[in-house]
Structure 1
Amino acid sequence: MRPGLKIGDQAELKIIVTPDMFAQFDGKVVHRAYSTVSMIYHMEWVSRMIILPFLEEDEEGMGAAVSAKHLAPSAEGAELVILAIVNEVKGSHVITEVTVSNRGKLIGMGEVKQILLPKSKIASLLEDD
């Protein structure tokens, strides 16, 4: 990992809820609202945005854990702000706290843990499958 990543670093992602983000199972929409699956995806994405400038050429980040609470629904067209803030850097582990807001109202919150590993290590882990 390149030097410089520190506690308090942050990244922000703004998205608009679209039908492909609705809660659905087996291709059938259950609720015309922002799904928990989409929220987790965006939480991981904004957390990844933080580590990208610090990855060495031979490194990659992997998700290791996500915890989340989806507190309120958001309809199609809602403009959401997803904010990740680094709260721990320990060796190759980076942990971010993430919030999801809809017009200033907190609709989701959680934590994302990433591990920075050599690409060769990731490849060898996948070969073991």
Structure 2
Amino acid sequence: MKNLFKIGDTLQYRKVVAAADVAAFHGEVVHPVYATFALARDAEWTTRQFVLQMRDEDEEGIGTELSIRHKGPAFEGEEIVFTGTISLLQGNELVCTYEARVGSRLIATGETGQKILKRDKIAALFRKEERPA
């Protein structure tokens, strides 16, 4: 694992809300706005950008936590700017806060957690015969 970052480092990810991102379940649109589950995906992708730069070839990141405080709507066609900030970097553990904004409007805040592990360790964790009963 490469130690490229420190607490307080930030990065951004930009996402334009698409029709597939609205709050819909089983084909029925509940609200024609950016869904909380889409927000979760994009928040995790934002902070994963740190992991992609930090991991070695034989390593991968694995999510450990995700929190969302959905504060306001984002509409189809609007661009959301996610800003991820490292709040904890200890050993192979990375915790980040994030915020999502459309212009000056706050859409969401939260936190993500990831660990960087050897790919073979992750594969072993995912093998059915090695899972705890």
Using the size of structure 2 for normalisation, the TM-score is 0.93
Do structure 1's residue 5 and structure 2's residue 5 form an aligned pair? yes
Over the matched positions of the two proteins, sequence identity in percent amounts to 33
How far apart in 1 are the matches of 2:4 and 2:47? 16
Match of 2:38 in 1: 38
Q: 1:23 aligns to what?
A: 23
Shift of 1:122: 0.4
Segments of structure 1 that go 5 or more residues without pairing to the other structure are none
Q: CA RMSD in A?
A: 1.0
| Superposed structure 1 runs of 4+ greater than 6 Å apart | none
Shift of 1:4: 2.1
Distance 2:14 2:5 in 1: 22
- 1:124: which partner in 2? 124
Contact 1:85–1:97 (CA under 8 A) maintained in structure 2: yes
Matched with 2:49 is 49
Contact 1:10–1:84 under 8 Å retained in 2:
yes
Q: Helix, strand or coil: the match of 1:52?
A: helix
Kindly state the Cα deviation for residue 5 of structure 1 after the two structures are TM-superposed.
2.1
Cα displacement string for residues 55-111 of structure 1 (whole angstroms, at most 9, x for unaligned residues): 011100011000110011111111110110101101111000000001111110000
Task: Please give the alpha-carbon distance, in whole angstroms, between the structure 1 residues aligned to 2:104 and 2:17.
Answer: 15
Match of 1:77 in 2: 77
1:11 deviates by 1.5
**5+ unaligned residues in a row in structure 2: which ranges?**
none
Partner letter of residue 112 of structure 2? V
Q: Structure 1 length as normaliser, TM-score?
A: 0.96
3-state SS of paired residue (1:87): strand
Partner of 2:89: 89
